[in-house]
Structure 1
Amino acid sequence: MAIRVKLDEMLYQRRMSLTELADRIGLTLPNLSILKTGKAKAIRFSTLDAICTALDCQPGDILEHDPSAPAAPADEEA
């Protein structure tokens, strides 16, 4: 997929653990981990808003479009 999740980099910059972020935004650690590893197929705006608020950042600090990334297989596209 051409969307890359840069949550690890932002957590490192903010010196925050994934567990701490999960607690702050009320999301389960497994669900946040799926997002962090780039395996999520979607994200709710409310979740993105909560992450950006907790990390004091913009959505573009967390998500990046990488056109050189391989496309998702046809059966995985929405």
Structure 2
Amino acid sequence: IIGYEDVQAPKPSPEGINKIKRRYSLADSDILYIGDSLIDAETARKGHIDFAAVTTGATPSAAFASADCQTILTNLRKLL
């Protein structure tokens, strides 16, 4: 886990994503960013990785319509 205390710039900066990529030698296509806000969607976009929205937070499903989402989930069990 890389949290806000591990980066200089907070989301939507892709700094945390880039640290994960380097730490684990991952390609962009190896990562799926899962988040519950439009800030998370923007972070994934800036990090050049896929994004899956989950509507367990305050952001409703309709708000993700303009975001580049692979999918919009009502809960994380839907990932399976």
TM-score normalised by structure 1 residue count: 0.30
Between structures 1 and 2, the one with greater strand share: 2
TM-score, with structure 2 as normaliser: 0.29
